[in-house]
Amino acid sequence: MTKNYDVIIIGGGHNALVCANILAKKNKKVLICEARDTCGGLATNDLSNFTPDFCSKVKSEIDNIAINHSSVSSIALSETGHHLKLTGKEAEDRKTLEQLAPEDVERYFKLQKKLSLFSKTLGSFMHSSPPRLLHKNFSDYFKLFKLGLNVRLMGRNNFNEFARMIGLNIADELEDNFKNTLLQGLISHDAVTGSNLGPRSPGSLINLLFRMANHNNSLFGGIQQAKGGVDAVIKSLEDNVVKRGVEIKTSSFVKRCIIENDQVKGIELGNGALIHADTVISSADPKSTYFCLLGTEHLDTDFKRRIKHHRSKGRVSKLQLTLNKVPEFKNLEPTELSQRLVISPSIDYIEENFNYSKFENLSPEPILEFSIPSLEDNSLCQDGQHIMNIQIQYAPFNVKGGWENKKTECIDNVLTILEKYAPGIKSCIVGQDFISPNDIEKNFNVTGGHWHHGEIQIDQLFMLRPIPGAAQYKTPVNGLYMCGAGTHPGGGMTGIPGKNAAHEVLKNI
Ligand SMILES: Cc1cc2nc3c(=O)[nH]c(=O)nc-3n(C[C@H](O)[C@H](O)[C@H](O)COP(=O)(O)OP(=O)(O)OC[C@H]3O[C@@H](n4cnc5c(N)ncnc54)[C@H](O)[C@@H]3O)c2cc1C
């Protein structure tokens, strides 16, 4: 076993690439071992539709990524054709709401302002390692004090409102505020996307705040389509780390970490090769990291229990339709089909979908978020054919009857719904590719196939993410760290866990 590297990173998702870039800029010799034949992990055109813009705090620390982005509007589809299009730009949205939901206009902007303040406050905690509980250490006390101060600086009324809302469900808040059910459905959709919560589940509001914190603190602003899709963002991140001297080994599944006397010493690949480094960072999900890469023999009973109960069953499936012509949607221009289109017409519609998935059943009328990005970006057009990317919310990890028998039914349900909005769409389809959360687990090496590598809920957030006692990117084994979406502040293409983890590692090497 030769000592070649300062740091080995397990997995080559976008967080690993951000982490590697920061470490390489500090002249660390870094190796990335990725199990798949390409980098990017869940951040691929095959799964992810849109990205939040990497925020300035991440961008300023990595090499410039050569990507053109365009902002995307969110369009809530209505069967009547009175679709609701929100852009995040106040003047445009005011005009739209005055036409379609006149009674809700002022309340919408009031709610947007309030949620924006709360998401900004939440966002201010995202960019560093969370404080440790029960450690009588000055820097932890200082972080806790700063945290309390930021919340208190919102003012007394806002502080009380924040405390009231933090465990609340999104449905109550929206039903108190709005009359328009389409508007309620669209906001609720964003509060539950990628999660195991329904709009009436306590805590669904914090999910929305988390999402807003990653999208310019806006309900519908800050959603981006990268030219070339998510794949182009990954290519740019990858090119930059390679230029910095980072070595990337793809098709290199890491079987285990080598541990000697509670200190990590390197990794063993699936083919038996041993590679040495005194620092290893796992971007794999928490269950894989602790149970597979580290091994339960290195964990105490309480730690094992916490990881076992970490909730990480995904509920989003992806369907890609290849279309030989552009389908006609009622009351939508073809160019609008490249925007974020959402079928989630009311809170009750979402809650009913959630009920089906709770009992491991498929909803006959699923919730869909979709787009045909090639209508704006020619580079995504394949031989004149367009790909329609569809995310299906609440497709359970385990479905009664097994996914191998249920895929066709799930696709049929999606197409039946789409036909209502775009009669004749079925005749445009020349190919289809479906991937369930169960497939995501197998094909992308993420336990449960979860969007965030683990639920974003109050007991799995911040000082408790992924679990209490290991929330600072560190594990109980010296030299072994984590940097993926399972760590603070969670998933989505933000690069924040990767950036924060790099700083934690740099304190110690
Ligand atoms: C269906 C779906 C749709 C999504 N849509 C969006 C979206 O539209 N917008 C958005 O912002 N986010 C979206 N997300 C979430 C987002 O893609 C993820 O949260 C994010 O990409 C996670 O990045 P990561 O780098 O932390 O982990 P990952 O992308 O999961 O990367 C981890 C990598 O580690 C590798 N790995 C794991 N174990 C090993 C091992 N033992 N050896 C070697 N390699 C290993 C994996 O192969 C993987 O490449 C979506 C997620 C899903 C599931």
Contact between 421 and 79 (Cβ < 8 Å)? yes
What distance in Å separates the CA atoms of residue 63 and residue 141, rounded to the nearest whole number?
33
Contact between 386 and 375 (Cβ < 8 Å)? yes
pLDDT for the residue numbered 134 = 67
Mean pLDDT across the stretch 8-27?
Answer: 98
- Going by C-alpha positions, the residue among 214, 278, 269, 298 that lies closest to residue 470 is 298
Task: Give the nearest ligand 1 atom to 318 CA.
Answer: 1
Helix (H) or strand (E) holding 508: none
Centroid of ligand 1 to alpha carbon of 456 (angstroms): 15
Segment 98-103 long-range contacts (CB within 8 Å, at least 24 positions apart): 100/180, 100/182, 101/178, 101/179, 101/180, 101/182, 101/183, 103/179, 103/180
Q: Is the pLDDT of residue 91 over 90?
A: yes
pLDDT for the residue numbered 449 = 97
12 in contact with ligand 1, CB cutoff 6 A: yes
Ligand 1, atom 51: closest residue by C-alpha: 451
Lowest mean pLDDT among 142-156, 195-209, 248-262, 294-308: 142-156
Its domain, for residue 37, covers 7-68+228-311+453-506
Q: Is the pLDDT of residue 1 over 70?
A: no
Last residue of a domain, which of 205, 223, 241? 223
Helix (H) or strand (E) holding 271: none
Helix/strand/coil for 51: strand
What confidence tens digit (pLDDT) does each residue in 327-338 have?
A: 999 999 999 999
pLDDT for the residue numbered 363 = 98
pLDDT for the residue numbered 55 = 77
Q: Does some domain include residue 392? A: yes
Ligand 1, atom 27: closest residue by C-alpha: 13
Start-end of H helices in 178-216: 181-192, 204-214
Task: Please tell me the total count of domains within the chain.
Answer: 3
Q: Is the pLDDT of residue 362 over 70?
A: yes
Q: Does some domain include residue 443? A: no
Query: 133 and 99 share a domain?
Result: yes
pLDDT for the residue numbered 219 = 97
pLDDT band at 281 (very low <50, low <70, confident <90, very high): very high
- Going by C-alpha positions, the residue among 44, 38, 7, 24 that lies closest to residue 493 is 44
Query: 408 and 482 share a domain?
Result: no
Query: 337 and 421 share a domain?
Result: yes
Whether the upstream peptide bond of residue 52 has omega within 30° of 0, thus cis, is no
Query: 219 and 242 share a domain?
Result: no
Task: Give the nearest ligand 1 atom to 494 CA.
Answer: 11
Mean pLDDT across the stretch 78-84?
Answer: 96
127: its two tokens: 């960019």
327 in contact with ligand 1, CB cutoff 6 A: no
Last residue of a domain, which of 175, 192, 223? 223
494 in contact with ligand 1, CB cutoff 6 A: no
Mean pLDDT across the stretch 485-503?
Answer: 97
Centroid of ligand 1 to alpha carbon of 42 (angstroms): 3
Contact between 34 and 484 (Cβ < 8 Å)? no
Pocket test for ligand 1, best of 9, 34, 46, 48 (most atoms within 8 A of CB): 48
Tell me, what CATH number does 46's domain have?
3.50.50.60
53 in contact with ligand 1, CB cutoff 6 A: no
What distance in Å separates the CA atoms of residue 354 and residue 200, rounded to the nearest whole number?
10
Q: Is the pLDDT of residue 76 over 90?
A: yes
List, as one string, the DSSP characters of 357-402.
HHTT---SS-EEEEE-GGGT-GGG-BTTBEEEEEEEET--SS-TT-
How high does pLDDT run on average in the chain? 94
Pocket test for ligand 1, best of 451, 455, 482, 488 (most atoms within 8 A of CB): 451
Query: 332 and 421 share a domain?
Result: yes
Ligand 1, atom 12: closest residue by C-alpha: 492
What confidence tens digit (pLDDT) does each residue in 194-228 have?
A: 999 999 999 899 999 999 999 999 999 999 999 99
Q: Does some domain include residue 73? A: no
Centroid of ligand 1 to alpha carbon of 491 (angstroms): 8
Centroid of ligand 1 to alpha carbon of 13 (angstroms): 6
Query: 252 and 329 share a domain?
Result: no
440 in contact with ligand 1, CB cutoff 6 A: yes
Centroid of ligand 1 to alpha carbon of 144 (angstroms): 30
Q: Is the pLDDT of residue 151 over 90?
A: no
Pocket test for ligand 1, best of 31, 42, 367 (most atoms within 8 A of CB): 42
pLDDT for the residue numbered 2 = 55
Centroid of ligand 1 to alpha carbon of 46 (angstroms): 11
pLDDT for the residue numbered 67 = 81
Q: Is the pLDDT of residue 140 over 90?
A: no
pLDDT for the residue numbered 138 = 78
Q: Does some domain include residue 417? A: yes
Query: 167 and 245 share a domain?
Result: no
Q: Is the pLDDT of residue 57 over 90?
A: no
Across 290-419, the runs of DSSP E, i.e. the strands, are 316-323, 340-343, 367-371, 386-393
Contact between 30 and 5 (Cβ < 8 Å)? yes
Query: Rounded to whole angstroms, what are the CA distances from 10 to 15, 289, 321, 448, 482?
Result: 11, 9, 32, 18, 9
Question: Identity (one letter) of the amino acid at 324?
Answer: N
- Going by C-alpha positions, the residue among 283, 331, 315 that lies closest to residue 466 is 283
pLDDT band at 3 (very low <50, low <70, confident <90, very high): low
221 in contact with ligand 1, CB cutoff 6 A: no
Query: 329 and 431 share a domain?
Result: yes
Q: Is the pLDDT of residue 139 over 80?
A: no
Q: Does some domain include residue 441? A: no
pLDDT band at 98 (very low <50, low <70, confident <90, very high): very high
Q: Is the pLDDT of residue 467 over 80?
A: yes
Lowest mean pLDDT among 21-25, 121-125, 142-146, 458-462: 142-146
Query: 216 and 270 share a domain?
Result: no
Q: Does some domain include residue 83? A: no
Give φ, ψ of 92 to 5 degrees.
-65, -45
Last residue of a domain, which of 197, 223, 249? 223
pLDDT band at 111 (very low <50, low <70, confident <90, very high): very high
Centroid of ligand 1 to alpha carbon of 437 (angstroms): 12
34 in contact with ligand 1, CB cutoff 6 A: yes
What distance in Å separates the CA atoms of residue 410 and residue 435, rounded to the nearest whole number?
11
- Going by C-alpha positions, the residue among 477, 472, 475 that lies closest to residue 497 is 472
Lowest mean pLDDT among 83-92, 137-146, 260-269, 323-332: 137-146
Q: Does some domain include residue 445? A: no
Q: Does some domain include residue 77? A: no
Query: 335 and 414 share a domain?
Result: yes
Lowest mean pLDDT among 145-149, 321-325, 352-356: 145-149
What distance in Å separates the CA atoms of residue 354 and residue 333, rounded to the nearest whole number?
31
Query: 34 and 136 share a domain?
Result: no
3-state helix, strand, coil in the chain (%, to 5): 40, 15, 40
Query: 96 and 210 share a domain?
Result: yes
